[in-house]
């Protein structure tokens, strides 16, 4: 009986690991997208933050156009952290979605 429970637990752990692997995103890809596309590249990591980044970039560009570069660099720096936060949410939710 206990052997069967151990097997079931192990099988569930494997399913959770497969789910996390399939739904995780790469922090490096997030940084590359942000480097290439700026604030729009943040869509890969977090679409809500990407909209905010675009609005802030446009606002800064209207004030003083070289500030667009500052916003661009900020997006490149923040993208891997946003992807890691997304991956953490995937790991937390896997416990509830995987049966």
Is residue 88 one of the residues assigned to a domain? no
Helix, strand, or coil here: 82?
helix
Summarize the confidence of residues 1-29 as an average pLDDT: 88
- pLDDT score of 1 more than 70: no
Q: What predicted TM-score, i.e. pTM, was given to this entire model? A: 0.83
**Cβ–Cβ under 8 Å, residues 61 and 53:** no
For residue 45, the enclosing domain spans 26-68
Is residue 45 one of the residues assigned to a domain? yes
Is residue 32 one of the residues assigned to a domain? yes
Is residue 55 one of the residues assigned to a domain? yes
How many domains does the chain fold into?
1
For residue 7, the model assigns a pLDDT of: 84
CA quadruple 89, 58, 34, 70: dihedral, nearest 10: -110
Is residue 52 one of the residues assigned to a domain? yes
- pLDDT score of 31 more than 90: yes
**Rounded distance between C-alpha atoms, residue 70 and residue 76, angstroms:** 10
pLDDT tens digits along 35-90: 999 999 999 999 999 999 999 999 999 999 999 999 999 999 999 999 999 999 99
Is residue 42 one of the residues assigned to a domain? yes
Is residue 34 one of the residues assigned to a domain? yes
């Amino acid at each position: 009986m206990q052997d069967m429970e151990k097997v079931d637990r192990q099988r569930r752990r494997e399913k959770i690991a497969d789910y996390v692997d399939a739904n995780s995103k790469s922090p490096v890809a997030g940084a590359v997208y942000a480097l290439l596309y700026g604030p729009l590249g943040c869509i890969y990591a977090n679409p809500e933050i990407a909209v905010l980044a675009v609005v802030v970039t446009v606002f800064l560009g209207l004030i003083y156009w070289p500030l667009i570069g500052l916003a661009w660099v900020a997006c490149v720096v923040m993208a891997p952290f946003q992807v890691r936060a997304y991956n953490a949410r995937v790991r937390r939710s896997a416990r509830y979605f995987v049966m």
